Amino acid sequence: MSFTSEVKEEVCTLKLDKADNISELSGIIGSSFDGSNIRVVTESNGVARRIYSLIKDLFGIYPKITVRKGYNYNKKYLYIVEVLENKDKVLKNLGINEFVPAEFIWADEGLTRAYLRGVFLTSGSINDPKTARYHLEFNLNVLEYAEFIKKLLNSFNLNSKILHRENHYMVYVKGAEKIGDFLRMIGAMKAVLYYEDIRIYRDHKNMTNRLNNCEQANVDRAIETALNQVKDINFIIENGNLDVLSEKEKIAADYRLKYPEASLLELAEIISMETESKTSKSSLYYRFKKIGEVADRLKEGK
């Protein structure tokens, strides 16, 4: 079962009051309404049962359910739920007229959550964070309705956007935190926990990778610096100018040639231990800086 299916199965088990049920059913039917027929097609048996129960409990109507094989050799079944009687009554009570529902359907935050839950059940999908990038989308047929769904989503600061795709419009949300907020908003708490676990794991893994990369970059810089110091020292020796260096600079040069890949800190500890003279990393840095200046002057012929 896909992650989208798991989320839908979870929210289909929620127990809501009548007002929330009306808003949710309005979102379910409104997101696929063609202007005349009340007909919803879904691949989820749980969603089909949810629609059937809501229509029966709210209006005392028993909708027709048809099961078909999926198109293009799809092994999944399609569940088609249709209301064939009292359609005008159902549409009126669900606030469905054309595309944007009546305001009483989404009059407060709780009703808006229920409405968006319904839209997600029939038109939404969400990537499994374990196998793909963070992505939530709603596939809708009419731009005006897509703009309305975008407005509702962004009332919860989800930063949704619209993309035109051939014969439909995609309202989408990016970002782990925003998608986690949406799942929490529609009441999919098991999915929230799963999503957050994966997000935390990924963030930790990314942080570890960044630290490793940073550490490797520091090592690379240290090695490059040490090799440049070796080149400067050899240049001074080859030109017979070692006596230009002070006694401490000669010691630093001698140990650098012995330990060409040691970091400044490691080299300072080695010198301190072998000469029994306390040498700090900063003092060693200063000595190599002086050696580099001597090499530069020699290269310039001064």
Domain positions in the chain are 3-187, 218-299
Kindly give, in sequence order, each residue whose CB lies less than 8 Å from that of residue 94, ignoring residues fewer than 6 positions away. 22, 25, 26, 29, 30, 101, 105
Nearest to residue 24, comparing CAs of 117, 124, 109, 146? 117
Q: pTM to 2 decimals?
A: 0.69
CATH of domain 3-187: 3.10.28.10
Determine the pLDDT at residue 137.
Answer: 96
Q: Is 81 helix (H, G, I), strand (E, B) or coil?
A: strand
- The pLDDT score that the predictor gives to residue 60 is 94
Q: Quick check: 32 and 217 in contact, CB under 8 A?
A: no
Integer CA distances (angstroms), 290 to 235, 242, 249, in order:
14, 12, 8
d(CA 110, CA 121): 17
What is the per-residue pLDDT for 157? 95
Token pair for 232: 């400067």
**How many whole angstroms separate alpha carbon 31 and alpha carbon 41?**
11
pLDDT in the model for residue 142: 92
Burial class (CB in 10 A: 0-12, 13-18, 19+), 60: exposed
pLDDT (tens place) for every residue of the chain, 302 residues total? 789 999 999 999 999 999 999 999 999 999 988 888 899 999 999 999 999 999 999 999 999 999 988 766 666 789 999 999 999 999 999 999 878 999 999 999 999 999 999 999 999 999 988 876 889 999 999 999 999 999 999 999 999 999 998 889 999 999 888 999 999 999 999 999 888 888 777 776 677 777 677 767 777 787 888 888 888 888 888 888 888 888 888 888 888 888 887 888 888 888 888 888 888 888 888 988 888 888 888 888 75
pLDDT, position 239:
82
What's the pLDDT at 91?
A: 94
For residues 100 and 51, give the distance between their C-alpha atoms in angstroms, rounded to a whole number. 20
- pLDDT on residue 204: 66
Distance (Å) of CA 138 to CA 165, 169, 170, 188:
12, 8, 6, 17
Q: Tell me if 101 sits within 8 A of 142, measured CB to CB.
A: no
pLDDT at 190: 92
Identify the CA nearest to 28 among candidates 156, 141, 124. 124
Token representation of residue 45: 């048996």
Closest listed residue to residue 101, CA positions, set 113, 92, 109: 92
Neighbour count for residue 196 (Cβ, 10 Å): 16
pLDDT at 111: 96
